[in-house]
Amino acid sequence: MIYSKFLGVGSYVPPRVWTNQDLTSLMDTSDEWIQQRTGIKERHWVDQDSATCTSDLALEASVRALEAANVKKEEIDLIILATLSPDHEFPGTGCFLQSKLDLPGIPALDIRQQCTGFIYGISIADQFLKSKQYKKVLVVGAEVHSKGLDKTTRGRDVTVLFGDGAGAVVMGAEEGAPDEKTSRLINTFLHADGRFAKELWVPEPGLAHPGPRMAPERFDGREYPQMNGKTVFTYATKKMPEVLMESLSAAGKTLEDVDLFIFHQANLRINEMVAKQLRIPEEKVYNTISRFGNTTAATIPLGIDEAVKSGRLKKGMLVASAAFGAGFTWASALYRW
């Protein structure tokens, strides 16, 4: 039997910290207002006057993941990069990361499933590994949100949520008969419902309208993220528990069997509601949002790395992850670390 496992994890955030108080210089907001609604205290943003981009953060996280896995970069057969903040419209950011890693020739693909992108990515990697087409895959979630946000009072409801960062895992194929304690990716479940695509999106620029794609009259604030927060909260707190239970049921596991829950970090209030509905003890949920904000595709690998470094995640532990985001998309993963 062929199965896949995580060989190593790494993460990176830019050094500049923006506290909630710092944001008050840009917009009408307050530390109390942000923390009450989101649980966020600070986030990391790249230097706004620099050329630092998503593939730069992805590179740093990838190098750290390779070191943790004790894998040489030349052993990587495939790069999968999840992001909603690409370096350029095209080609994919995975190709820019591949160039910076100096790994010409191997395939590189981008995943555009936003907050669920990392779980979609490891699910794709899992299939390639189990089919024996590849032996080692680098899966990365990376974002530079800060350069694409409306940093005025008009955009504050969205802007206060997001941070920049990257997380990466090296996944490898193993052969044998795994038992209950074998480190491996047990399952993933993926879902989407495009009927809600416009509840969380960036309307412009786009091709879904008459006339030139970059017509100046279309840039009236619609080039920034738009979100129906109430709808997102309602569906996130419904779909995350559902897909989490889907993973556990398929594996014959219960919530009590899980040692640690590492959820996507969109809003602390969402994760608290999910945990409350499922009666998950607070000490079993690992959150990073207060320090990093929502780093979208990077939140789960960033959380895994932080949990490892803090000693909360140890070898042999059963971990469950779930995510919900734009699309709408939602997904879960169950794995033995």
Active site residues: 115, 264, 294
Query: Please, which residues bridge with residue 109 across strands?
Result: 80
Q: Are 78 and 48 in contact (CB under 8 A)?
A: no
Exposure string over 218-227, b if 16+ CB within 10 A, otherwise e? beeeeebbbe
Q: Which two tokens stand for residue 208?
A: 């879904």
The SS3 of residue 318 is strand
73: CB partners within 8 A, 6+ apart: 66, 101, 102, 103
Q: Are 275 and 333 in contact (CB under 8 A)?
A: no
The residue with tokens 């879902």 is 191
Query: Please, which residues bridge with residue 233 across strands?
Result: none
Q: Are 336 and 186 in contact (CB under 8 A)?
A: yes
